[in-house]
Amino acid sequence: MGQNPEGPLPGLVPLILLFCLIGAYSLNNNPAEIGLMLLFGVLGYLMKKFKYDGAPLVLAMVLGPLMDNSLRQSLLMSGGSGTIFFTRPICLVILGVVALILLLPVLPLISRIRKTVEKTEEN
């Protein structure tokens, strides 16, 4: 079977779309989920077109609720006080590593600004 220049089979894309629509609707019999599926399809297309990686988005969607539950549990254990994150040694280490990761991209910028200021002061 020869390869079609337009794709594998001309009728394959409409069939895939039809099965996606049926699957989205049949899950909860809710037409709004079809719109949600189409919205995420357009979002995925735009992310691919503008070369954005989808893995961080999927990771955030999976880990977000878990992190929310853990935060809620921690705040319940501490009586609503956020100081629990600064009194435990493991939390301080994790916060320090996060701060370091966030500051690493800024350090070269700071050194460039310093060099520019030093050059202007010399002149």
Q: What is the pLDDT of residues 65-99, one digit of tens each?
A: 999 999 999 899 989 888 888 888 998 999 999 99
CA distance 114 to 108: 10
Task: Give tens-digit pLDDT for 98-117.
Answer: 999 999 989 888 888 888 88
Q: Give the integer Cα–Cα distance in Å for 83 and 28.
A: 42
pLDDT of residue 54: 86
Per-domain residue ranges of the chain: 9-52, 54-81, 88-123
Token pair for 49:
């077109």
